[in-house]
Amino acid sequence: MISFLEGIVDTVRVDCLALNVQGIGYQINTPSYNNLSLKAGDKIKIYTYLYLREDKIMLYGFLTREEENFFELLISTPGVGPKVGLNILSKMTPDSFGQAILQEDLDSITAIVGIGNKLAKKIVLELKEKISKITFLETSIGKTFKSENINDAIDALKVLGYTYNKAKSAVEKTQEKFKGELTVEELVRESLKIIR
């Protein structure tokens, strides 16, 4: 089992990248948003999940252990394969998708490519109890932070040229510092102070 790979990004496509690890190129399927912040020559560590079937061996990669764990949880759900799992993580963070499940927000879930109403209901049924117990969800429903604001702030920082990990870390530190609800603009402004 390959737990993670560390190397130099060789090529980046929308849904995968090639990682050069000491002269060996690994093709790794990744959520599409990850690849927006990566470019050839970047040195990165990718947490991986090896998917084995009789006719297929595929490697899936994530920038955080949290995402990798969430991906494993998603594909343990009947009807959710790796492709749908990647689509989910390309569209939403583990936290925001977890909240959509806890709130039974079928509109948000069915907005993801590959998930119809029937599968959305199945996902809610299968995962609601598990997700309510999981500690890697960043924000509970009771907290005042809006996950949309958090995602938008991370996206804004990525547009400014910061990596996903750096943007996420800064936004999380900003959340801890300011206990009340912040707008996207305030989150970005305060996160930039932390980064600088």
pLDDT tens digits, residue range 69-107?
899 999 999 999 999 999 999 988 888 898 899 889 999
Q: Is pLDDT of 184 > 90? A: no
Token pair for 45 = 């560590």
Output the pTM of the full model.
0.66
Residue 8 burial (10 A CB sphere; 0-12, 13-18, 19+): middle
Q: Which residues does 78 contact at the CB level (< 8 Å), separation at least 6?
A: 122, 126
Q: What is the mean pLDDT of the chain?
A: 85
Side chain identity, residue 103:
Q
Label residue 136 by pLDDT band (50, 70, 90): very low
Q: Which domains can be identified in the chain, with CATH numbers?
A: 4-62 (2.40.50.140), 65-133 (1.10.150.20), 147-195 (1.10.8)
